[in-house]
Amino acid sequence: MQQTSKNLAEGARELIAFRIGEQEFCVDIMSVREIRGWTPATSLPHSPGYVLGVINLRGAVLPIVDLSSRLGMKESDPSARHVIIVAQVRQKVVGLLVDAVSDILTVTDDNIQPTPEVSSELDRSFAKGVLAIEGRMICLIELESVFPDDESEAA
């Protein structure tokens, strides 16, 4: 990863691509802290359905969000094959439960197309754009809007 970032062309940036069900998404690599396997989470009372609970990340309490559920798709049934992307969103560190991490993409802003007008839950509020890479469609997620600043919503 470090190697590629050194060789980055001007204006290019790196994204981490991952899979949820049949769909592919990606987030900016700069916000990703680490990727780790699923461990059972301690559930939190009165939390929204997409908050799976909290796990111990080397002494810190890390909330785990089922990204599939958060994006309005079906709820995941977490298993050992699932992956947690630990990401920094503003001041907080959160874990995103996804099916699998697939790729590291190097793109420039030109590669990112605007989000098509769709009336799905995964509308413009989460998606920052879409990428067409080798025939695949990858949706760029904006974590800031997945976890809004307002804490009551994040809860």
Phi, psi of 73 (to 5 degrees): -95, -170
Structure tokens of 66? 């089922």
Shortest Å distance, C-beta 58 to another protein: 6
Strand partners, 34: 86
> Is 44 among the residues that bind another protein (CB under 8 A)?
yes
Shortest Å distance, C-beta 132 to another protein: 34
Restricting to residues 50-89, name those near another protein by CB under 8 A: 51, 53-56, 58-63
* Cβ atoms within 10 Å, residue 105: 19
**CA distance linking residue 21 with residue 33, whole number of Å:** 23
Residue 44 or 122 having the CB closest to another protein: 44
Q: Which residues bind another protein (CB under 8 A)?
A: 40-47, 51, 53-56, 58-63, 92-94, 151-152, 154-155
